[in-house]
Amino acid sequence: MSARYSPAALIQFATALLNKAGLEDEKSRVVADILVEGDLMGHTTHGLALLGGYLGELETGSMTKSGQPRVIADFPAAINWDGQRLPGPWLAVRALDLATDRAKQHGTCTVVIRRSHHIACLAAFLRPVTEQGMMAILTCSDPAGSSVSPHGGRQPLYTPNPFAVAWPTNGHPVILDVSMSITTNGLIKRLYTEKKRMPGKWLLDANGIPTDDPGVMFNEPTGTLLPMGGVDHGHKGYALALFVETLTSALGGHGRIHKKEGWGASVFLQVINPAFFGGRDEFVALTSHLADACRATAPRPGFDHVRVPGEAGLRRRDEQLKQGIELYPSILPSLESWSKKLGVPLPAAQ
């Protein structure tokens, strides 16, 4: 059986590393919480797997260590921040807290953040909003990045542009977190490092030929990642990716026409309070009915049952909170050098 680790011990370990790297105490704790939440839910490429990269960004100064976002606009239900390259998880948590409070007063609130650093796993942020009876939308793009081609093209132009939404039901919330590309850059890098192939022909080489070789993303000239939908239906992911860029960079007033500053994010988030619309009770009754109807659908061959989005991740979270987190095998080895450099011991298995 694989080793398991206490969630609290992993949070303490990540917090200490970030703090030793110069990040302010409260920011370190929030970032650590979100990274470990990603692993709790099974998003193993977007949990503690990101910590080494964040530490490197703190070391070079590409991630800002202290301070607050600059307020560009602040209306009751519409807010725009300049994140000043502060840690993305911390900015997103703060923004969601603010949007949730405002939605209680105004029915909805939208926050757009320009010049955030990377914000980690989108699904990791949303459960607390649903626990207050509200719906949340969170999406981001990276105006400095290019790894996905538009449908019909063979050159990388934009980033995977994930889109996450969550809403409450009578039981677990529904949580979806979907990239507008067919997979993530994190998985491509992991499989390339492990000398493995992709599960399908999800990439194009520099000549536009579909391939399952992750190495094409590291060659010159580089290959590209296909949009969600792949070769056949990639027009759908392509269109949605443009929508994400419009919500994030265009609304925030900072994007691909501006100077590139390194790994980062443009962020859009919105909290919606059902009490201001059809009513909270009716909202939950309807979302619960639909979720239950989906689960009751007869499964096709190869499936034991029909799940709703987020069900597997939340079940995994519940199990790992009790039994400990089963980290992906490469995660702690990737942090050994930082552990030694910053004088923070690796966490012991349970």
Structure confidence at residue 61 (pLDDT): 98
Alpha carbons 331 and 329: distance in angstroms, whole number: 6
- Residue 325 CB burial class (10 angstroms; 0-12, 13-18, ≥19): buried
At 2 the pLDDT is 78
pLDDT per residue rounded down to tens, the chain (350 residues): 579 999 999 999 999 999 999 999 999 999 999 999 999 999 999 999 999 999 999 999 999 999 999 999 999 999 999 999 999 999 999 999 999 999 999 999 999 999 999 999 999 999 999 999 999 999 999 999 999 999 999 999 999 999 999 999 999 999 999 999 999 999 999 999 999 999 999 999 999 999 999 999 999 999 999 999 999 999 999 999 999 999 999 999 999 999 999 999 999 999 999 999 999 999 999 999 999 999 999 999 999 999 999 999 999 999 999 999 999 999 999 999 999 999 999 999 99
Predicted confidence at residue 210, as pLDDT, reads 98
- The C-alpha angle with vertex 208 and arms to 204 and 212, in degrees rounded to 5, equals 25
The three-class DSSP label of residue 110 is: strand
pLDDT value at residue 109: 98
Q: What length is written for the chain?
A: 350
pTM of the predicted protein model: 0.97
Q: What was the pLDDT predicted at 1?
A: 53
Q: What is the DSSP letter of 77?
A: T
Q: What is the pLDDT of residue 307?
A: 97
Structural domains in the chain plus CATH codes: 7-182+226-289+309-342 (3.30.1370.60)
How far is Cα 131 from Cα 112, in angstroms, rounded to an integer?
23
Reduced to 3 DSSP states, what percent helix, strand and coil does the chain have, rounded to the nearest 5? 45, 15, 40
Alpha-helical (H) ranges within the chain are 7-20, 25-40, 51-60, 88-106, 127-130, 185-193, 230-245, 251-252, 280-296, 311-323, 331-342
User: Cβ-count burial of 52 within 10 angstroms (0-12 exposed, 13-18 middle, 19+ buried)?
Assistant: middle
